[in-house]
Structure 1
Amino acid sequence: MKLVELNLSTISFGQPIPFALRGVGGSLLANKGFVIRSADDLRVLLARGQTLYVDTDESGESYRAFLAQLQSLLLSDKPLNKITSMTMQSAAAAVEVPQDMGPPAWREWQLGLTQLLRNPDNSDFASRFEDLFSALNNYLLKNPDGALLALMQMSAEETRYYSATHAMLVSVICMTVARETLRWPENRILPLGRAALSMNMGMARLQDDLAQQSTPLTPQQAQEVDQHSDASVSILRAMGITDPLWLDAVKTHHHRAPGKLAEKTLGQQMARLIQRADIFGARIAPRANREPMSVTSAMQASYYDETKSMDEAGAALVKALGIYPPGAWVKLASEEVGVVIRRGASASAPRVAVLLNRSGMPTGEPIPRDTAQPAWKIVSPVAHKEVRVRLPLEKLLAL
């Protein structure tokens, strides 16, 4: 039995469900074809099962078909009100999901945020966005290394939904740096995270296209990129967003303004941190026309400002994430290759799960290594594309 948590708000009321629903421990809650007629019915199921799961060993084909249908609807760019809600939290569900039930459904989140950024609807944008952001922030508070690991891996693996994956990664990085290194209060961290998640709304569709485009930008595309910050602010205002810090950070997140953070306004401080995280995230992601940078090179690009001096926000990013953040592939002194799964006591000594032995052969099962030990010291980064063994994201997160 392999249980995968179901995003509650992908459930359509009044329609037969295409797979069986199970609760915590795999208990059967509803057979395939069962009709959930209302939010009250959903609450009853949640009260019985705490969380809803699909057993992919049992219903793998129907579940994959369900996800494929959602994906095809997304790619058709139909308005949000024509597509089943895919937010991370269900407004209909009054039962709190336990905090130890494992990782969220990242791939579904990716699809849902893509649709939200591409086709915002002012009738429900604010509530959908806040549901999504709150879920992301709650998971980050519980498991920051898991959030970084998931989003780093997703950024490195595919480009179709670059805008959403990048936005989540930058938001997670910014809030992590603000909490752990800059020690900002929550009333500054939350608008920072929201701004990072929405900074590129003005060119979300173009971002996804450019990630797969091998030719140079056309003049029209270049103009759209140049104007996207103002366009994002205009869209957010039209969606009913009025928070001045949020809007100011989005408006100025591409301004090149080196200097001390204390000399900037609060919105400009947020924008500078977003800009440094934006640079890092963009450089580790593949493109059709270029290979991604190594993690260390991307860190270096974030660390130095436009005058080649140390950037305060960039230095805070490196301090918080470490030289090798979760999700980075590395080679050890033992000649083994693994992926960073957790930050360590120092920036250069994280915890690693080895997946290739010194002969370059798969280990079968991940082998934990503490790189603070000389025998397992990290000697170099490894490009994601050079690693021929893959673990499903769920297995990596379980480590």
Structure 2
Amino acid sequence: MAARLPPGNQRHDGEYEDLLSLWSDLESALSVVLSAPLRVQDFPAKVRQVDRWLQDLVAHDIDAALYLMFQLASTSSVGYSASHALVCGTLCHIMAQELQLPPRERDSLVRAALTMNIAMTALQDVLAGQREKPTAAQQDAIRNHPQESQALLERLFITDNLWLDVVGQHHASISDRVPLASQEPHDRLTRILGTIDRYAAMISPRKSRAGRSATDSVRAIVGHEVDQRDEVSYTLVRSVGLCPPGTFVRLDNGDTAIVLRRGEKANQPLVASLLDRAGAHHARPGIYQTGMTNKPRIQSALARSAVAVALNHRTMVRLGVYAAAPHNSGLMGLVTVPGAL
């Protein structure tokens, strides 16, 4: 789908075009750090640099960041380990803001998320492309990787004990019925990271299974009703929505749509309708704020594997930006030629 901007927005468009390439560059940079950490000069500084880069991209536009992140997580199993680490790091950063964690805890949490599987980066990529069950040797490596990752980080001169402790116990079972504020920092962060880790793994495809929808992933972790007493899961849903930007949904009019931006309520996002009930492409995406009177509502979430459509992510992100802007009469000027979305 070709697109043009309403007059006067060329600079804004350039910023979003850069955002898309920067997000891809960030994943590539993280992949280099994780795949050959012992060859990285000043490893601690490189991780801090990746973290700052992540913060800058999220600060630019959190909805655009979520859109790109969820598309990245759901469309490819190539470089799974780096992709998974980036999803976890991004969600932990957003969660830390929502939970108002102290800066030191926020830093330890996000950097633990980025590096928790560093001792099995290559194996994680292999497993993502493997249809067979893990071998006995692979199972041993999976079981031991938290401690091995912690030890490797120590060799790489990571001296933040909270970061190291969270990596070393990131698969530990921590009670979700105890208030976060009353838990020790390492348990509090482990609890947050554990939930994010499971959620991110479920939405990501592997050769052995397709990724689940974001909604199914939440329900697999917390059940059909999100209990406010489970602060982490409740905050996750409140932060990114039941159907986050970048995920697909079926509308009650039969259309297939992609979520562009979060709404005021977790289940009422802004969507772009891409396909009609027969699976035919719309000449122009229908933009709907779900939940509003006389507008389509979300019937169900869809896994990426259930949707056969090619997307121009630059256009989708821009559509979300302009649709969310009040009184934007130039919105449909974005879409000028029917064709590939």
TM-score bracket for this pair, using the shorter chain length: 0.7 to 0.9
Partners of 1:390 and 1:350 lie apart in 2 by: 21
- Amino acid of the structure 2 residue aligned with 1:173: L
1:363 to 242, 260, 282: 282
Look up the match of 1:378. 298
Partners of 1:191 and 1:394 lie apart in 2 by: 32
Look up the match of 1:164. 82
CA-to-partner distance for each residue in 1:171-223, whole Å, 9 max, x for gaps?
A: 1111112212x122333222211111111101111111000001111111111
Partners of 1:292 and 1:321 lie apart in 2 by: 18
SS of 2:20's partner is: coil
1:203 to 109, 120, 125: 120
Identify if the C-alpha distance between structure 1 residues 358 and 216 changes in structure 2 by more than 3 Å, giving closer, same or farther: closer
Residue-pair matches, total: 302
1:278 to 197, 211, 215: 197
Q: 193-202 vs 363-372, which deviates more? A: 363-372
Q: Whose Rg is larger?
A: 1
Alignment check: 8 A CA contact 1:110 1:165 kept = yes
Structure 1 residue runs of 5 or longer lacking an equivalent are 3-24, 27-52, 54-97
Partners of 2:164 and 2:194 lie apart in 1 by: 15
Look up the match of 2:45. 127
Deviation at 1:310, TM superposition (A): 6.1
Partners of 2:316 and 2:175 lie apart in 1 by: 37
SS of 2:259's partner is: strand
Deviation at 1:101, TM superposition (A): 5.1
Look up the match of 2:271. 352
State whether structure 2 residue 256 is matched by structure 1 residue 337: yes
- Amino acid of the structure 2 residue aligned with 1:149: Y
Deviation at 1:394, TM superposition (A): 2.6
Look up the match of 1:150. 68
- Amino acid of the structure 1 residue aligned with 2:102: P
SS of 2:266's partner is: coil
CA-to-partner distance for each residue in 1:346-390, whole Å, 9 max, x for gaps?
A: 011011111112432112343321002243111111221121212
Percent pairwise identity = 31
SS of 1:160's partner is: coil
Partners of 1:125 and 1:118 lie apart in 2 by: 12
Q: Give the number of the structure with larger relative contact order, counting CA–CA contacts within 8 Å between residues 6 or more apart.
A: 2
Partners of 1:367 and 1:325 lie apart in 2 by: 18
Structure 2 residue runs of 5 or longer lacking an equivalent are 3-9, 320-341
TM-score normalized by the length of structure 2: 0.82
Partners of 2:17 and 2:187 lie apart in 1 by: 37
CA-to-partner distance for each residue in 1:228-264, whole Å, 9 max, x for gaps?
A: 1111111111111111221121112110122312342
Identify if the C-alpha distance between structure 1 residues 377 and 190 changes in structure 2 by more than 3 Å, giving closer, same or farther: same
Q: 99-108 vs 266-275, which deviates more? A: 99-108
Alignment check: 8 A CA contact 1:122 1:240 kept = no
Deviation at 1:112, TM superposition (A): 2.5
Partners of 1:334 and 1:122 lie apart in 2 by: 52
Partners of 2:163 and 2:222 lie apart in 1 by: 24
Q: 4+ residue stretches of structure 1 with deviation over 6 A?
A: none
TM-score normalized by the length of structure 1: 0.71
Alignment check: 8 A CA contact 2:248 2:302 kept = yes
